[in-house]
Amino acid sequence: MAEKAVLQVGDQSIELPIIEGVEGERAIDITSLRSETGLITYDPSMGNTGVCQSEITFIDGDKGILRYRGIPIEQFTQSPNFVEVVWLLIFGRLPKLDEITPFSELFTSNALLHEGLRLQYNDIPKDAPPMAILSATLNSLSYYHQELLSIEDSKSFMQAAARLLSKVRTMAAFAYRRSLGLPFIYPDPQLRYCANFLHMMFSQPYQQFEVTQEIEDALNLVFILHADHEQNCSTSTVRMVGSSQANLFASCAAGVCALWGPLHGGANVKVIEMLEGIHSGGIKPKECIRMAKDKEEGFRLYGFGHRVYKNFDPRARVLKEACDKVLAQLQVNDPLLDIARELEELALEDSYFVDRKLYPNVDFYSGIVLRALGIPTNMFTVCFSIGRMPGWIAQWKEQHDNPNSRIQRPRQVYMGPKENNYVPIHKR
Ligand code: ACO
pLDDT tens for residues 191-244?
Answer: 999 999 999 999 999 999 999 999 999 999 999 999 999 999 999 999 999 999
In eight-state DSSP terms, residue 208 is P
Burial 33-69 (b: 16+ CB within 10 A, else e): beeeeeeeeeeeeeeeebebebebbbbbeeebbbbbb
State residue 18 phi and psi, 5-degree precision.
Answer: -110, 125
Cα separation, 278 vs 55, whole angstroms: 42
Express each pLDDT in 85-144 by its tens digit: 999 999 999 999 999 999 999 999 999 999 999 999 999 999 999 999 999 999 999 999
> Mean pLDDT across the chain, nearest whole number?
95
- CB neighbours of residue 171 within 10 Å: 28
In order of 42, 89, 207, 417, 419, the CA distances from 414 in angstroms are 11, 39, 62, 9, 12
Asked if residue 1 has pLDDT above 90, the reply is no
Cα separation, 172 vs 386, whole angstroms: 8
Q: Which atom of ligand 1 is nearest to the CA of 300?
A: 1
Cα separation, 261 vs 266, whole angstroms: 5
**Which residue among 304, 309, 353, 392 has the greatest number of ligand 1 atoms within 8 angstroms of its CB, and so is best to mutate?**
304
Give residue 312's pLDDT band: very low, low, confident or very high (50, 70, 90): confident
Express each pLDDT in 373-391 by its tens digit: 999 999 999 999 999 999 9
Residues 6+ apart with CB under 8 A from 33: 7, 14, 16, 39, 40, 41
Q: Is the CB of 263 under 6 A from ligand 1?
A: yes
Q: Is the CB of 326 under 6 A from ligand 1?
A: no
In order of 47, 258, 262, 263, 354, the CA distances from 300 in angstroms are 20, 19, 10, 10, 15
**Span from the CA of 32 to the centroid of ligand 1 (angstroms):** 33
pLDDT for the residue 284: 86
Asked if residue 323 has pLDDT above 80, the reply is yes
Express each pLDDT in 278-306 by its tens digit: 999 778 899 999 999 999 998 899 999 99
Q: Is the CB of 4 under 6 A from ligand 1?
A: no
Contact by Cβ (8 Å): 125, 175? no
DSSP codes of every residue in 90-128: HHSSPPPHHHHHHHHHHHHHT-SPPHHHHHHGGGS-TT-
Contact by Cβ (8 Å): 69, 56? yes
Contact by Cβ (8 Å): 298, 304? no
pLDDT for the residue 281: 79
How many Cα atoms within 13 Å fall on the side-chain side of residue 366? 33
**Span from the CA of 93 to the centroid of ligand 1 (angstroms):** 34
pLDDT for the residue 283: 80
Q: Which atom of ligand 1 is nearest to the CA of 45?
A: 30
How many Cα atoms within 13 Å fall on the side-chain side of residue 336? 21
**Span from the CA of 335 to the centroid of ligand 1 (angstroms):** 26
Catalytic residues: 306, 363
**Span from the CA of 299 to the centroid of ligand 1 (angstroms):** 11
Cα separation, 222 vs 384, whole angstroms: 8
Spatial strand order in the sheet of 12-20: 4-9, 12-20, 26-28
- CB neighbours of residue 244 within 10 Å: 11
Q: Is the CB of 316 under 6 A from ligand 1?
A: no
Contact by Cβ (8 Å): 220, 82? yes
Q: Is the CB of 265 under 6 A from ligand 1?
A: yes
Asked if residue 152 has pLDDT above 90, the reply is no
